[in-house]
Amino acid sequence: MLSVGCGSALGALLRYWLTTWWKRQQVDWPLVTLLINLTGALVLGILTGRLAATGSAMLFWGVGFLGGYTTLSTLNTEMIAMVDEHRWGSLVIYFVVSYVGGLLAAWLGMSI
């Protein structure tokens, strides 16, 4: 449990730092969440595929760090905000790139 908790804390802190930095750029599109989730899927694919990580390495990096780093809840709340703002084009692009891109990133990571 300590391994998962420590990894999760580090991943969440990195996500917080990146998100805070992005908000200072004053760009009205959730690119940072997209990049966080895509890189998280890629790295998890590498961990499970190429590195075949198990045990404590998977608990710390896969479950902990990447679990704290990636964020499905933020992705979904950002999409709901796009619905509320009637930003349909942005919503469709964000949805497709996030979900299809995440699958492709995980597949690429597992294939490396």
Residue 112, classed as helix, strand or coil, is: coil
Report angle CA 81, 21, 102 to the nearest 5 degrees: 55
Spell out the per-residue pLDDT of the chain, length 112, in tens.
Answer: 899 999 999 999 999 999 999 888 887 788 999 999 999 999 999 998 878 878 888 899 999 999 999 999 999 999 999 999 999 999 999 999 999 999 999 999 999 8
Binding positions for Na(+) are 67, 70
In whole angstroms, give the CA distance from residue 71 to residue 52: 23
Binding positions are 67, 70
The domain locations on the chain are 2-111
Residue type, 89: G
Predicted TM-score of the model (pTM): 0.88
Which residue, 33, 46, 16, 27, is CA-closest to 95? 33
Sign of torsion over alpha carbons 4, 61, 52, 107: positive
